[in-house]
Amino acid sequence: MSAATIVSLPDQSTARIPKMNFLTKENGLLSWLLTGDHKRIATLYLISITFFFFIGGALAGLIRLELLTPQTSLMAADTYNKVFTMHGVIMVFLFLVPSVPATIGNFVIPLMVGARDLALPKINLLSWYLYIIAGFMVIYTMAAGGVDTGWTFTSPLSTHYLNTHVISTGLAIFVAGFSSIFTGLNFIVTIHKMRAPGMTWFRLPLFVWSNYAASILMVLGTPVLAITLVLVVLERTVHIGVFDPAYGGDPILFQHLFWFYSHPAVYIMILPGMGVISEVVSTFSRKRVFGYTAVAFSSVAIAVFGFFVWAHHMFIMGISNYAALVFSLLTMLVAVPSAIKIFNWAFTLYKGSITFETPMLYAFGFMGLFTIGGMTGVFLGTTGTDIHLTETYFIVAHFHFVMVGGMLMAFLSGIHFWWPKWTGRMYPEKISQFAAVVTFIGFNFTFFPQFILGTLGMPRRYAAYPPEFQALNVFSTAGATILGVGYLLPILYLTWSLKYGAVAGNNPWQATGLEWQTQSPPLTENFPVIPIMDHEAYDYEWLEKQNLARLRQEEVV
């Protein structure tokens, strides 16, 4: 990597973390557990989400270990079924859905819009407690023996044919769902009602737009999942219900209700990550995002279209051919805004002044891997090819590319980008760049072979498989080991940086957002005085003028 960097740190011999900040304002466990400060809540979320990510990751490790051999060698088939179910449940509901919104979003959105906090701080705290309760219920489920329905809870398997802990898992996700709804509700209200004077919609950072779109999905889609889970739980307790054909119910109804949420859910997961990429690409190219309006509107378009494509998860399930046609067409429409974003980000680089700090490396990884993941989504949205590829490892590879190669990379990009603002300290650049590269390599080795496995026909959720698939599986597991290293490193060096990292100062990246114009870590009340927004988003010329004005002031003094 070139030695050029945009990092501008204060003089380390004299710089100190500001004594009064949101971390030091009050001490004691209760001040954290009863806080209304969005930044503290974001920190609580960050710790809990990381905890669950590593549990989910450990389960992934177990999956890949089992798949080293064609037979079930490491664990019984039942255990394997529980392992991949818990991996899916934890990763989707306890990690991906809240990851960027509840951590980075909670932390940064009030700062970005120029507010002192989110609109409803108590609801924000409640949201975290609901998340923790859901987490405990999931841990209870695991300790009590696990659940093996698959994260998709397909009925009638989940309602009548399994005697594992479906009810506790269903209720856990119900609770987690409300955690998500409250986060989304808070964001929408904040963005509508609490923008600083002068902060018009089109002066908002694109991170805000993306989270706004994701919040619409959270608020409108999650309740449907909630009621579906209630019906599943009722069916299991009462032994009669709307999803069981033996009683006149319809298992396809479950599919419709489940995917009505779970498809928008994937956009809930990816949109905030796309928001991070907008911020990072802009900052490290020193340029406003190319086609701001297009990127903003494409976020909303993804949210809106995202509600109309759910049955593309059901193409082979006996829905009418004409219904399949409609959903396939709509799926093509929803793919286009994502493509628009990728090109806009790429063109943000044009005539920019680019440096390659860690957040930017992750952002590049995102752009490449999400392109692959997104394109393979089109393979699956096309009815003809979906017949062959669905329910195989092609699907597994597709969603891991968009979620892990996409979303998780965006999350890491965002964590590194806002780390100086959050903690007041810089992370160590060299090792973090190394970790980013290791993650990228490990990821490709793990998941690219799975596309091939899927095309060959290897079904998903198989504990044992025909021997001819072994070579690719071994390759994939080897990659997973590398990927694990890539994810462990940040935990280590980020923790290290809390004590030994360089003092960051207000604006180490020389970025333009409002959050960078205040101290690091921020005050509890965010701004001493509510700022007035008098410039466009990503206005680097404004930033230069600010810096010059400050230098002149310092000279005068």
474-533 residues near another protein, rule: CB under 8 A:
514, 517-518, 525, 527-532
Options 25-33, 383-391, 401-409, 427-435: segment touching another protein (CB under 8 A): 383-391
Residues 101, 184: Cα–Cα separation, whole Å: 8
Our finding on whether 63 is near another protein (CB under 8 A) is: no
**Residue that has been written with the tokens 């219900």 in this structure:** 241
Options 126-134, 137-145, 269-277, 311-319: segment touching another protein (CB under 8 A): 311-319
169 vs 392, beta carbon nearer another protein: 392
Instruction: Tokens for 535, please give them.
Output: 């410039």
**Positive or negative torsion for Cα 28, 530, 7, 556:** negative
Options 72-80, 201-209, 425-433, 435-443: segment touching another protein (CB under 8 A): 72-80
Query: By rule CB under 8 A, what count of residues binds another protein?
Result: 147
Residues 162, 164: Cα–Cα separation, whole Å: 6
Our finding on whether 278 is near another protein (CB under 8 A) is: no
Taking the complex as a whole, the smallest distance from the CB of residue 500 to another protein amounts, in Å, to 27
458 vs 494, beta carbon nearer another protein: 458
Q: What are phi and psi of 370, to 5 degrees?
A: -70, -35
Our finding on whether 368 is near another protein (CB under 8 A) is: yes
DSSP character string of 483-518: HHHHHHHHHHHHHHHHHHSPB--S-TT---SGGGGS
49 vs 225, beta carbon nearer another protein: 225
CA distances from 466 to 103, 452, 472, 474 (A): 42, 15, 12, 13
- Give the residue among 183, 211, 181, 65 at the shortest CA–CA distance from 121: 183
Which of 20, 33, 144, 230 binds another protein (CB under 8 A)? It is: 230
Our finding on whether 223 is near another protein (CB under 8 A) is: yes
- Give the residue among 544, 537, 7 at the shortest CA–CA distance from 289: 537
Options 10-18, 25-33, 222-230, 473-481: segment touching another protein (CB under 8 A): 222-230
Which of 69, 72, 168, 470 binds another protein (CB under 8 A)? It is: 72
Options 139-147, 239-247, 415-423, 431-439: segment touching another protein (CB under 8 A): 239-247
Our finding on whether 546 is near another protein (CB under 8 A) is: yes
Residues 473, 450: Cα–Cα separation, whole Å: 8
Our finding on whether 328 is near another protein (CB under 8 A) is: yes
Hey, which residues does 392 pair with through a beta bridge?
A: 459
Which of 9, 157, 300, 488 binds another protein (CB under 8 A)? It is: 157
3-class SS of residue 459 = strand
354 vs 489, beta carbon nearer another protein: 354
* Contact letters for another protein, residues 87-126 (x by CB under 8 A): -----------------------x----xxxxxxx-x---
341 vs 416, beta carbon nearer another protein: 341
Taking the complex as a whole, the smallest distance from the CB of residue 223 to another protein amounts, in Å, to 4
Our finding on whether 167 is near another protein (CB under 8 A) is: no
The distance from CA 163 to its chain's CA centroid, rounded to whole angstroms, is 32
Who's near 495: CB < 8 A, 6+ residues apart? Answer: none
Taking the complex as a whole, the smallest distance from the CB of residue 240 to another protein amounts, in Å, to 5
In terms of Cβ atoms closer than 10 Å to its own Cβ (0-12, 13-18, 19+), residue 200 is exposed
Within 193-212, the residues that bind another protein by CB under 8 A are: 193-194, 197
Our finding on whether 246 is near another protein (CB under 8 A) is: yes
Our finding on whether 349 is near another protein (CB under 8 A) is: yes
Cα–Cα–Cα angle for 2, 445, 67, nearest 5°?
Answer: 155
Taking the complex as a whole, the smallest distance from the CB of residue 103 to another protein amounts, in Å, to 20
Task: Determine the residue type at 367.
Answer: M
485 vs 551, beta carbon nearer another protein: 551
Which of 144, 325, 485, 492 binds another protein (CB under 8 A)? It is: 325
Who's near 475: CB < 8 A, 6+ residues apart? Answer: 445, 449
Options 8-16, 154-162, 409-417, 419-427: segment touching another protein (CB under 8 A): 154-162
Who's near 5: CB < 8 A, 6+ residues apart? Answer: 355, 357, 429
Which of 465, 487, 493, 509 binds another protein (CB under 8 A)? It is: 465
Our finding on whether 234 is near another protein (CB under 8 A) is: yes
Taking the complex as a whole, the smallest distance from the CB of residue 123 to another protein amounts, in Å, to 8
Burial 121-152 (b: 16+ CB within 10 A, else e): bebbbbbbebbbbbbebbbebbeeebbbbbbb
Residues 417, 432: Cα–Cα separation, whole Å: 12
State the Cα torsion 175-177-181-182 to the nearest 10°: 30
Asked if the peptide bond before residue 156 counts as cis, ω within 30 degrees of 0, the response is yes
Residues 373, 367: Cα–Cα separation, whole Å: 10
Our finding on whether 435 is near another protein (CB under 8 A) is: no
Our finding on whether 468 is near another protein (CB under 8 A) is: yes
Instruction: Tokens for 368, please give them.
Output: 């490449």
Our finding on whether 321 is near another protein (CB under 8 A) is: yes
Task: Please give the DSSP secondary-structure letter assigned to residue 310.
Answer: G
Our finding on whether 378 is near another protein (CB under 8 A) is: yes
* Contact letters for another protein, residues 130-149 (x by CB under 8 A): ------------------x-
The distance from CA 171 to its chain's CA centroid, rounded to whole angstroms, is 22
* Contact letters for another protein, residues 14-53 (x by CB under 8 A): ----------------------------------------
Taking the complex as a whole, the smallest distance from the CB of residue 51 to another protein amounts, in Å, to 28
